[in-house]
Amino acid sequence: MRAGRAWLGQPDVTGLSDLAGVVIQPLGQIEDHRGAVLHMLRSDSPLFERFGEIYFSLVLPGVVKAWKRHQRLTQHFAVPVGQIRLVLYDDRSGCPSQGRLEKHILGRPDHYLLVRIPPLLWYGFQGLGATPSLVANCTDFPHDPQESESLPSDATHIPYRWKE
């Protein structure tokens, strides 16, 4: 695929991320007395390239799901229920943000954001708060277990220690 230039793409105009290829966007939340309509991704968004799959990861309070990276998949995360801490680590050789690590809180109402995670970036997340959190993930290819790599959550390669 385009692994050699995986960090190219839309620049992050919100200033919320300095990682090449990562884009973070506030999402619409239309609340009323009945509940809310929560935006995620539309085909006419500049961020949209191709639909592969939409699925959810339910994460129990305190649980860490880390570390993982994809060879070719671009992911879009949003957290419509609960809150997570998302940690991103860039070890992409030759990439302008190589060596950089970022932590982001995702979840309503103050951090209802779309996060674009490009291929080859390490990511992990932890459920925060006292109730389960739901991570929605819209990807550009359907899930393929052959194209992802994992590291244990305490891998020394990544300069972040999860507090479980």
* Gyration radius from the chain CA atoms: 15
What is the residue type of 67? W
Stretch that binds a copy of itself, among 17-25, 87-95, 116-124, 139-147 (CB under 8 A): 139-147
- Binding to a copy of itself (CB under 8 A): which residues in 58-77? 58-60, 63, 65
C-beta of residue 17 within 8 angstroms of C-beta of residue 99: no
| 141 vs 160 by CB, closer to a copy of itself | 141
Give 137: exposed, middle or buried? Use CB within 10 Å, 0-12, 13-18, 19+.
middle
Residue 135 CA to chain centroid, in angstroms? 9
- Owner of token pair 């050789």: 93
Q: Does 80 bind a copy of itself (CB under 8 A)?
A: yes
Q: Does 3 bind a copy of itself (CB under 8 A)?
A: no
Q: Does 34 bind a copy of itself (CB under 8 A)?
A: yes
Closest distance to a copy of itself from the beta carbon of 7 (Å): 24
Q: Does 35 bind a copy of itself (CB under 8 A)?
A: yes
Task: Report the distance separating Cα 28 and Cα 19, nearest Å.
Answer: 23
Summarize as ranges the residues that interact with a copy of itself (CB under 8 A). Answer: 33-44, 48, 51-60, 63, 65, 80-81, 127, 132, 134, 136, 138, 141-143
